[in-house]
Structure 1
């Protein structure tokens, strides 16, 4: 039962963060983001949110561009360590 409560709490926090962060804001990650052993994003480096996607219930992501590969990368809200709001309103997407 405790695991279900922790999982539900993490889902709610991720949902809240996804709604708080806007396109144009900067996010930093808790740890490097890797795919098959290749680092795509560095921890504690700010990345601008280019888009937000609501792929499915409980599967919301931010889209940022890797400074290493140049590829677009999906970042789940629970990976975000901190964020800075942009000063200008973002366009609706």
Structure 2
């Protein structure tokens, strides 16, 4: 479970933050090299907004699943209801719907 948490949640989260962070920095650098027009500023805001929304949706989808998996691992032998395990799994599996990439 720790391996799965690291490989399937933590590493993708780090990659997402790194890649989207670089994307925002690149857009800001390109905007700084051009004249600060209203169009450039609007495009920069839209890219930043899109990146934030994508990261938030990734977290909304995967944090409950990772939390439940860790909770089940630390409370082995306990009884868990089907909804307790199904709802976070549904969110995690539906994350591909919300991510346009």
Larger Rg: 2
TM-score after normalising by structure 2: 0.28
Q: Please identify which structure carries the higher helix content.
A: 2
Q: Please identify which structure carries the higher strand content.
A: 1
